[in-house]
């Protein structure tokens, strides 16, 4: 169970570090959005993998979840799973869309919501929403697209309730904080490398 959870947080970290939209944000906005994204992406990925692989059908896995996180967590998770779409491409688009959702700091007083450029965040959200909608229209047509998009919104709401409960679980909070710190450090180092590279190139052209 611990290895499974570690793999979820590790994969979330890789996704966050590779997300170009997140990397291009200002330091302040990126720091704020990292907390939201780490919670959203890890919880949505966790929910999807458990659902897709039918892990809660295994008594050993289900019992281990209840021991680690309590029966209420498992019950909320079971309820949220009914909104998960079987289309893996749509799930990936949904995770990208909601990685920029500001739902986390709406119930966590420890996270600042003073974005320096909220319009930029809105533009990123719109870009992912438009991409998701175009995929739905292309693959399913208008009627199914509307039904599935509503289902995606319902899944986000269910995951938000799940995350609200998760904030009371010390292990989850510690894991997310650790993930955010590691990702933030990596992105800062990447920023420094980019600045050094640009400075070196500029010096070269001036020779």
Please report, in tens digits, the pLDDT of each residue of the chain (207 residues total). Answer: 778 888 888 888 888 888 888 888 888 888 888 888 888 888 888 889 988 999 988 999 889 888 887 888 788 888 888 888 989 999 999 888 888 876 554 445 555 567 778 888 889 989 999 999 999 999 999 999 999 999 988 888 888 887 777 777 777 778 878 888 888 888 887 665 555 545 555 555 555
In the DSSP assignment, the letter for residue 55 is G
Q: What is the pLDDT of residue 108?
A: 52
CA distance 171 to 64: 14
Domain ranges of the chain: 2-198
CA distance 66 to 9: 19
CA distance 128 to 135: 11
Q: What is the pLDDT of residue 127?
A: 92
Q: What is the pLDDT of residue 207?
A: 55
Fold of 2-198: Retinoid X Receptor (1.10.565)
CA distance 190 to 95: 24
Q: Is 110 helix (H, G, I), strand (E, B) or coil?
A: coil
Q: What is the pLDDT of residue 107?
A: 46
In the DSSP assignment, the letter for residue 105 is G
Q: Which pTM was predicted?
A: 0.76
Q: How many CA atoms lie within 13 A of 105 on its CB side?
A: 18
Q: What is the pLDDT of residue 187?
A: 80
């Amino acid at each position: 169970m611990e290895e499974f959870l570690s793999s979820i947080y590790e994969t979330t970290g890789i996704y966050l570090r590779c997300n170009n939209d997140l990397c291009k944000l200002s330091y302040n906005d990126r720091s704020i959005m990292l907390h939201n994204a780490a919670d959203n992406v890890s919880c949505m990925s966790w929910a999807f993998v458990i659902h897709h692989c039918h892990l809660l059908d295994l008594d050993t896995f289900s019992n281990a979840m209840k021991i680690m996180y309590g029966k209420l967590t498992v019950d909320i998770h079971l309820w949220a799973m009914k909104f998960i779409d079987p289309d893996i491409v749509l799930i990936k688009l949904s995770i990208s869309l909601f990685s920029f959702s500001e739902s986390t700091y709406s119930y966590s007083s420890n996270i600042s919501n003073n974005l320096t450029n909220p319009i930029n965040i809105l533009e990123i959200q719109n870009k992912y929403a438009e991409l998701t909608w175009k995929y739905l229209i292309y693959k399913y047509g208008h009627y199914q697209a509307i039904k599935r998009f509503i289902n995606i919104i319902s899944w986000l709401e269910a995951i938000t309730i799940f995350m609200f409960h998760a904030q009371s679980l010390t292990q989850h909070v510690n894991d997310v904080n650790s993930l955010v710190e590691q990702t933030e450090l990596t992105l800062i180092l990447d920023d420094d490398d980019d600045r050094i590279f640009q400075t070196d190139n500029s010096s070269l052209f001036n020779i």
